[in-house]
Amino acid sequence: MKLRLLALACVSASLLGGCALVPSSGAERRTVTVWLMKGSASAQFLERFTEEFERTHEDLDLDIRIQEWTGIGEKVQAALEAETPDGPDVIEVGNTQVPQYVDGGGLLDLTLESLRDWGMRDWLPGLAEPGRQRSTQYGIPWYAANRVVIYRKDLFEQAGIAGPPKTREDWLAATEKLNSGGNQGIYLAGEDWYTLSGFIWDEGGDLANESGGVWTGTLDTPAALRGMDFYRRLQALGGGPVDADEEHPPQAEEFAKGRIAQIVAVPGQARAIVQQNPELAGELGFFPVPGTSAGKPGAVFTGGSDLVVPKRTDQRDGAVTVVEELTGAKWNTELARAMNYVPNKTTLAAAVAGEEGVAAMAAGAAQGRATPSTPEWAAVEADNPIKQYMTRVLTGADPATEARRASRRITEALAVPLG
């Protein structure tokens, strides 16, 4: 068991570089080891959290260890499979990564705490759903980020558009107005499948469905085809490449050239745009991706992180306490404000209302979703048939035929267990 005497110097993450003061009662203190990902929280946030946590929990010390995203999957899997409990007690993982760790049986069931103490009914669905398997909650939502529409206020004004559109049809009409005089109404790459996913979800469709333990690709359903048709109509109102995704070339670079009215991206892209074109400072605005009706924003893919606890931990109570504190209202809202994230609950959205881009994210996150909750989904993304489907449709192929082809490939990929 990881115990430490108060007389000993505390061990903390290299990022924190210091040691919190501890009382001199002589009582034994237990260490909770926490793996967090590089860039998820600032050094200042972690310093404040550690100081207060250790002050208010006199029997616990924190050992926060910062991890790199590169290679983290194998490292986490090895920690979960270790024979001894000397590894991490709490681990930050990407929300869509949780299913692969659940599949190995190495995570602690946190359903009781989630229902009784943590208000799981208010969690963002795009964070909560990937952390759940058959009604058992393993991943606890920490923070989220998602796409919004970044737009040129000056070009909207010149086109006589009074404000951000509220519905998808209004969005199409506004974008058509903006797509004139040498300007692109929107820059939307042909293979931006995350954005397509939102349109499909809005129509009541999905990328894949599970029945009786068997996953099947569902791009060929009427609902999914309606989502693709809207994407096709919107994408045509600009000059985005039909055979590339949003990073080839980087859409922020294209936007910074000055003849594009809108892109669909995380709000942080605005900073990169202004760095490349300072003349756009003060001209950029944000609004949630519009939905099918004015009363609700459109569905969006939600990225972010969950916190999990290895089943082998010998510090169960301490680990659960750390998760409770980090995901609770006080520290979760402080993290959201410090890092421009969306808090983990819809009820905490007001905490970021003062920041236009983050507020737009939070509105969309309430309708957020994640990719199908199966560890085999990584195989789909490795040779992504959705991207190929999109390019074929945008270059004139029959949508229904190509959707059936892509759905078969998704079904085949999901049928092969990851080794």
The rounded percent of the chain whose pLDDT value lies above 90 is 90
The bridge status of strand 28-37 relative to strand 208-211 is unpaired
Bridge partners, 301 (sequence order): 369
* Cα distance from N-terminal residue to C-terminal residue, the chain: 32
CA distance 320 to 121: 19
Q: How far is CA 66 from CA 15, 38, 91, 267, in A?
A: 7, 6, 10, 25
CA distance 89 to 326: 14
The pTM of the full predicted model, rounded to 2 decimals, is 0.90
pLDDT higher than 50, residue 364: yes
pLDDT the model gives residue 27: 60
**Mean pLDDT lowest for which of 73-77, 118-122, 415-419?**
415-419
Tokens of 98: 């949780």
Q: How many CA atoms lie within 13 A of 289 on its CB side?
A: 30
**Mean pLDDT lowest for which of 12-16, 38-42, 131-135, 302-306?**
12-16
The neighbour count for residue 239, using CB atoms within 10 Å, is 16
Q: How many CA atoms lie within 13 A of 78 on its CB side?
A: 5
Contacts of 165 (CB under 8 A, 6+ apart): 171, 173, 174, 287, 290
- Give residue 328's identity as a one-letter amino acid code: G
What confidence category does residue 418 fall into, taking pLDDT thresholds of 50, 70 and 90? low
pLDDT the model gives residue 92: 98
pLDDT the model gives residue 86: 85
pLDDT higher than 70, residue 222: yes
Tokens of 171: 């969005």
pLDDT the model gives residue 28: 85
What confidence category does residue 419 fall into, taking pLDDT thresholds of 50, 70 and 90? low
The residue-averaged pLDDT of 240-244 equals: 98
- 180 in the Ramachandran plot: left (φ > 0), alpha (ψ -120 to 50) or beta? beta
Bridge partners, 293 (sequence order): 296
- Give residue 118's identity as a one-letter amino acid code: W
pLDDT the model gives residue 7: 31
pLDDT the model gives residue 62: 98
Q: 30 and 59 in contact (C-beta within 8 Å)?
A: yes
Query: Per-residue pLDDT tens for 248-297?
Result: 999 999 999 999 999 999 999 999 999 999 999 999 999 999 999 998 99
Alpha helices in 186-327 (DSSP H): 193-202, 222-235, 251-256, 269-276, 316-327
**Residue 345: which H helix or E strand, with range?**
none
Question: 372: closest CA among 195, 141, 214, 143?
Answer: 214
Q: 6 and 58 in contact (C-beta within 8 Å)?
A: no
Q: 152 and 280 in contact (C-beta within 8 Å)?
A: yes
pLDDT higher than 60, residue 5: no
Q: How far is CA 324 from CA 100, 102, 308, 395, in A?
A: 23, 20, 11, 50
Residue that has been written with the tokens 């590339």 in this structure: 244
Q: 384 and 193 in contact (C-beta within 8 Å)?
A: yes
pLDDT the model gives residue 104: 86
**Residue 392: which H helix or E strand, with range?**
helix 385-394
CA distance 137 to 25: 38
Sign of the dihedral through C-alpha 326, 327, 330, 335: positive
The neighbour count for residue 378, using CB atoms within 10 Å, is 16
Tokens of 268: 């942080």
The residue-averaged pLDDT of 212-231 equals: 97
Q: How far is CA 83 from CA 55, 330, 401, in A?
A: 32, 36, 50
Q: 311 and 107 in contact (C-beta within 8 Å)?
A: yes
Q: How many CA atoms lie within 13 A of 401 on its CB side?
A: 5
What confidence category does residue 3 fall into, taking pLDDT thresholds of 50, 70 and 90? very low
CA distance 393 to 61: 56
Q: Hey, what's the torsion of the CAs at 263, 38, 379, 129, to 10 degrees?
A: -80
E strands of 95-240, at which residues? 132-133, 136-137, 140-146, 148-152, 208-211, 214-217
Query: Per-residue pLDDT tens for 9-28?
Result: 333 333 444 444 444 445 68
Query: 355: burial class by Cβ within 10 Å (0-12, 13-18, 19+)?
Result: middle
Please give the radius of gyration of the chain, using alpha carbons only, rounded to the nearest integer: 23
